[in-house]
Amino acid sequence: MTEIPEHLRKRAAEARKKAEGSSAAEEAAASPDAGSASGEASKIPAHLLQRSKSAKDKASGETQTAVAAAPAAGAVATATAPAPAATMTGPAGHTQRLLTVVKSGSIQDIKAQPLDKVHTWPHLIVVEFGATLAITAFLTFFSIFVNAPLLRLADANATPNPSKAPWYFLGLQELLTLFHPMVAGVTVPTLGLIMIGIAPYIDRNPSNRPEDRKFAISIFTIFLMSSAILTIIGSFFRGPGFNWVLPWEAGIFFDL
């Protein structure tokens, strides 16, 4: 059962007391004694009876009929009011009615909506600084216990065959076997960097969902896969003279 708020209970109790007091006053004033044979009537003025009737109609919501006789010369004004209508009562005799139920959330004043954003400082900077410290500590301890794979001293009279660049430059070295040095060393890397640089200005979608960022993901995928394929070919499929070889037949000509 729904709990009735305290202020509604107080308001209903006051209205019920007011209605009962008006009814008792009207009955005492308007109804003469049944056993009285003297014919003596109530001496309450008509305007007071009319005001009481209006208050009762407003409290009960029902229209009542009052009969008022205009006082003649030397006569006494009398008014007849019917008995109060029976009111419907609920459990334990309560007569109040529940006006409305107001949800608590509908009266709350929300001044600011939550945003799915955080500030660069301190949230992002603290995380990046912690990651930098962790990587620096890992590289420091790794370099203490593991020696770098350095080769012997370079000899200008004995060039190793094949002569390969470090693995992170083998993609560009592989491009040199396919295009002119101007194209492989300048044009292609420059175009790749320009495409990556203008991608955020072409794809301005703020969504983080992959299906909503098809252009940016396509550009990054093309750049990543091209670099990976060229690096793998230069590392494992190039032998003496930087010629094409199969690693499972001629071996792997690659050192870190």
Q: Which tens digits make up the pLDDT trace of 96-112?
A: 665 666 565 555 556 66
163 and 87 part of one domain: no
For residues 1-12, give the mean pLDDT. Answer: 76
Asked whether residue 10 falls in the same domain as residue 96, the answer is yes
Q: What is the mean pLDDT of residues 27-32?
A: 57
Does residue 228 carry a pLDDT above 90?
A: yes
Mean pLDDT of 122-148: 93
Mean pLDDT of 123-152: 91
H-type alpha helices, the chain: 6-30, 46-60, 125-145, 170-176, 181-182, 188-202, 214-236, 247-250
Residue whose token pair is 């014919």: 39
**Residue 65 near residue 82 (C-beta atoms within 8 A):** yes
Indicate yes or no: pTM above 0.75.
no
Tokens of 179: 């295009």
For a pLDDT cut of 70, what percent of the chain falls above it? 69
**Residue 153 placed within a domain:** no
pLDDT score for 81 = 46
Among the candidates 70, 100, 130, a domain finishes at 100
Confidence of residue 79 (pLDDT cuts 50, 70, 90): very low
- pLDDT at site 37: 38
pLDDT: which is higher, 151 or 229: 229
169, 90: one domain: no
Inform me whether the pLDDT recorded for 139 exceeds 90.
yes
Q: Is residue 223 part of a domain?
A: yes
β-pair type (67-68, 79-80): antiparallel
Name residue, tokens 């500030």: 119
pLDDT of residue 142: 94
**Better-predicted residue by pLDDT, 166 or 60:** 166
Q: How far is CA 243 from the centre of its chain?
A: 60
Domain membership flag for residue 110: no
Assess if residue 137 is contained within a domain.
no
The mean of the pLDDT values for the chain is 76
What is the predicted pLDDT for the residue at 21?
77
Domain termination residue (choose one: 100, 124, 139): 100
Taking the C-alpha atoms of residue 20 and residue 55, their distance in angstroms, rounded to an integer, is 11
Q: Which structural domain, as residue segments, surrounds residue 26? A: 6-31+41-100
Choose from 82-96, 102-116, 200-214 the range with maximum mean pLDDT: 200-214
The answer to whether residues 181 and 187 touch, using CB atoms and an 8 Å cutoff, is: no
Q: Is residue 96 located within the same domain as residue 163?
A: no
Specify if 118 maps to a domain: no
Q: Are residues 82 and 168 in the same domain?
A: no
73 domain residue, yes or no: yes
Average pLDDT on 64-82 reads 42
pLDDT of residue 140: 95
Predicted local distance difference test score (pLDDT) of residue 199: 83
Last residue of one domain, picked from the residues 100, 122, 149: 100
Q: Length of the chain, please?
A: 256
Q: Is residue 121 part of a domain?
A: no
Q: Alpha helix (H) ranges present in 35-79?
A: 46-60
**Residue 4: predicted pLDDT:** 74
Between 230 and 199, whose confidence is greater?
230
Count of domains observed in the chain: 2
The arithmetic mean of pLDDT across residues 229-239, rounded, is 92
Question: Nearest CA to 243 among 159, 162, 170?
Answer: 162
